[in-house]
Structure formats: structure tokens, C-alpha cells
């Protein structure tokens, strides 16, 4: 998929090197967001969401975890499309998805209830910390998204570490190496090759 010239902008990353990134404004001809909203929804994203859900079901089967993965992957596909287009993660999607994920986990895995809640809160707090040091270091939408991912992944160390380390690397002006990110994310032990 290629982007039209109007949909990207050039950003200098230093030393005269430029990268192309999605424009922060919707391109000309893009549908306007709904009244009172800073983002809009495209019906074609339902196909993207359905495809992501199908992949989750094909990979994990129609099991308790497969159904959860299908739902969360569908939500993440729509959130990705909205974030790329309008640079926002809407509360109208993230918060209900987090609540639904926690409710699903509590209903079908009551033995995992404390683990899910602690992972959701812990992931959100971890991503909130940089903003307490420097205002705007990371967006609050990302913090709420971390809660959704924490509730979904629980304490599955590798997946959660990968998500958190990738998000931590996003922080502007911060240089966090792979080993430090793995130690920060869940107190994991650093191995010679990076994340274990």
C-alpha cells in the first residue's frame, strides 16, 4: 500500500536525513470526523478488524484465549487505523474494550482475576511514569492502551515485555536499549542476547 504525497510529510531525523511519516491532518478528500469528535470511522476498517479477528481464531482456535485474542485484535486493528489517520486513540473505543477484556477474563478465568487487574494497572502505571517526569513524554491514549494490553496478556512475560519495550522506545528523546527495557518492563533478567 502506498501513500499519496498529500498523506505524508517529511521529518528530518538529523544529519540531513529525512523520513516520510503519515501527516497529522487527514488528507484532502478524507471523510471529516463526526461532529464533536476528533476522529472518524471508515467502514473498510471492519474488513481489517474481521481479518485480524480471523487470524487470532485461526492461530489459537475457538478456545477461551482464541476468542479473547480475536476480539482484542479486531479492536487493535481499528485503533491502529484511527491512530495512523488522526493520531488519536479514542476513549470511546479503548476504555470499553479494556472493560470488556477484564470482564471476559473475570467471567471465564476467575482464578486469573488478580493477575489480569494487576497487569492492566501495572502496564498503565509503567507507561504513565515518563509523563510524570516530562509532560507529554507519552500520550494518555498510549497509557490506556497499555492497560488493555496488560489485561489481555496478563503476565505472559515475553509478549508484555516486547509491547512495553517497543512503547518505551517511542518516547521522544529517550534512548532505552533492549536489555534495559526488558529489565524495566517486568524485572526480567537480562540475557546476553537481549530480551529473553
Q: Where are the domains of the chain?
A: 1-30, 42-88, 105-196
3-state secondary structure string across the chain? CCCCHHHEEEEEEECCEEEEEECCCCCCCCCCCCCCCCCCCCCHHHHHHHHHHHHHHHHHCCCHHHHHHHHHHHHHHHHHHHHHHHCCCCHHHHHHHHHHHHHHHHHHCHHHHHHHHHHHHHHHHHHHHHHHHCCCCCCHHHHHHHHHHHHHHCCCHHHHHHHHHHHHHHCCCCCCCHHHHHHHHHCCCCECCECC
Long-range contacts of 177-181 (CB under 8 A, 24+ apart): none
pLDDT of residue 159: 55
Question: What is the distance between the alpha carbons of residues 155 and 143, in angstroms, rounded to a whole number?
Answer: 17
d(CA 126, CA 184): 9
User: CA-to-CA distance for 100 and 114, rounded, in angstroms?
Assistant: 16
Grid cell digits, residue 96: 470499553
What is the reported pTM? 0.65
pLDDT per residue rounded down to tens, the chain (196 residues)? 444 445 556 666 555 666 666 555 544 444 555 555 667 778 888 999 999 999 989 998 999 989 999 999 999 999 999 888 888 899 999 999 999 999 999 999 999 889 899 989 988 998 888 888 888 888 899 999 999 999 998 866 655 555 555 555 554 334 444 444 444 444 444 444 433 3
| Cβ-contact 151, 98 below 8 angstroms | yes
Residue keyed to cell 501495572 = 122
Amino acid at each position: 500500500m502506498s501513500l499519496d504525497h498529500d498523506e505524508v510529510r517529511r521529518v528530518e531525523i538529523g544529519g540531513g536525513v529525512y523520513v516520510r511519516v503519515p501527516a497529522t491532518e487527514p488528507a484532502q478528500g478524507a471523510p471529516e470526523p463526526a461532529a464533536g469528535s476528533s476522529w472518524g470511522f471508515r467502514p473498510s476498517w471492519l474488513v481489517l478488524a474481521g481479518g485480524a479477528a480471523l487470524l487470532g481464531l485461526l492461530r489459537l482456535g475457538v478456545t477461551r484465549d482464541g476468542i479473547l485474542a480475536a476480539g482484542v485484535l479486531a479492536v487493535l486493528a481499528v485503533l491502529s487505523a484511527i491512530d495512523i489517520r488522526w493520531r488519536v486513540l479514542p476513549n470511546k473505543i479503548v476504555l470499553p474494550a479494556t472493560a470488556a477484556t477484564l470482564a471476559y477474563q473475570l467471567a471465564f478465568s476467575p482464578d486469573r482475576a488478580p493477575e489480569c487487574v494487576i497487569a492492566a494497572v501495572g502496564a498503565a502505571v509503567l507507561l504513565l511514569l515518563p509523563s510524570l517526569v516530562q509532560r507529554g513524554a507519552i500520550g494518555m491514549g498510549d497509557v490506556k492502551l497499555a492497560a488493555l494490553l496488560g489485561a489481555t496478556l496478563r503476565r505472559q512475560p515475553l509478549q508484555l515485555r516486547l509491547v512495553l519495550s517497543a512503547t518505551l522506545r517511542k518516547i521522544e528523546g529517550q534512548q532505552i536499549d533492549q536489555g534495559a527495557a526488558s529489565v524495566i518492563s517486568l524485572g526480567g533478567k537480562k540475557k546476553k542476547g537481549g530480551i529473553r
